[in-house]
């Protein structure tokens, strides 16, 4: 698939068919992830491939708890009808974990260490594009408390759960969200 097509047509998928994802597709998605750039080529990412239903249910419970908390804290009313059932129904969830020790000069900067997270986000975008090119839907999910996800997935305290990426055959066409005209986003210094 052409790279511009993948970039433009990929959308967040929230409804999945139960059909399992082929091992070789998961492999291709993760190989795409690791070709992302990272500060000093530190490759700060790790992946947990989750197909066990019990673990998906635990992640779903944590998302439900977080949504309830979010509804109370933010006052965002739409959260009241936000289900996150895709965590139960996606045939595979890939947790992307970042290692703050594998970063750039930001390790010494006062704003704190964040470049390793940027690299993980670039890897995640590669995963979405690869999944779409393979005919799969994917969702970038971050509605969780990191401490809880660390506990559920037995992740070291020093590492950062960046996102849960839900992947599977899409059930129906994902909603085609629009974008603002790019012109509104650009300033020139000529």
Residues from 149 through 188 that contact a copy of itself (CB under 8 A)? 153, 162-163, 177, 179-180, 182, 185-188
For residue 3, state whether it binds a copy of itself (rule: CB under 8 A): yes
Q: Which residues between 67 and 96 bind a copy of itself (CB under 8 A)?
A: 70, 73-74, 76
14-22, 83-91, 111-119, 166-174 -> range binding a copy of itself (CB under 8 A): 111-119
Q: Smaller CB distance to a copy of itself: residue 81 or 189?
A: 189
Of 118, 116, 168, 164, the C-alpha closest to 144 is 164
Residue 182, classed as helix, strand or coil, is helix
Q: Which residues between 53 and 72 bind a copy of itself (CB under 8 A)?
A: 55, 66, 70
Q: Smaller CB distance to a copy of itself: residue 90 or 115?
A: 115
d(CA 116, CA 183): 30
Structure tokens at 101: 């020790």
The binder of a copy of itself chosen from 17, 88, 140, 171 (CB under 8 A):
140
Which positions ≥6 away from 158 have C-beta within 8 Å?
Answer: 99, 100, 101
Q: How many residues make contact with a copy of itself (CB under 8 A)?
A: 77
Name the residue with tokens 């895709």. 86
Question: Least Å distance between CB 17 and a copy of itself?
Answer: 20
DSSP 27-80: HHHHHHHHTS--GGG---EEEEEE--HHHHHHHHHHHHHHHHHHHHHH--GGGG
Q: Which residues between 16 and 35 bind a copy of itself (CB under 8 A)?
A: 27-28, 30-35
For residue 102, state whether it binds a copy of itself (rule: CB under 8 A): no
């Amino acid at each position: 698939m052409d790279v511009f097509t993948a970039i433009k047509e990929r959308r967040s998928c929230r409804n999945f068919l139960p059909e399992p994802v082929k091992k070789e597709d998961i492999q291709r998605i993760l190989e795409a992830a690791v070709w992302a750039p990272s500060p000093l080529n530190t490759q700060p990412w790790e992946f947990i491939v989750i197909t066990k239903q019990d673990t998906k249910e635990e992640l779903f419970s944590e998302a439900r708890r977080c949504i309830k908390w979010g509804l109370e804290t933010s006052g965002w009313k739409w959260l009241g009808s936000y289900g996150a059932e895709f965590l139960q129904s996606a045939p595979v969830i890939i947790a992307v974990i970042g290692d703050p020790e594998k970063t750039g000069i930001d390790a010494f900067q006062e704003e704190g260490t964040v470049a390793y997270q940027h690299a993980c986000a670039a890897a995640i975008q590669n995963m979405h594009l690869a999944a779409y090119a393979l005919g799969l839907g994917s969702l970038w999910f971050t509605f969780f408390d990191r401490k809880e996800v660390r506990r559920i997935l037995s992740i070291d305290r020093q590492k950062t759960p960046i996102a849960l990426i839900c992947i599977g055959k899409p059930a129906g066409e994902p909603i085609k969200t629009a974008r603002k005209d790019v012109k509104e986003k650009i300033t020139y210094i000529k």
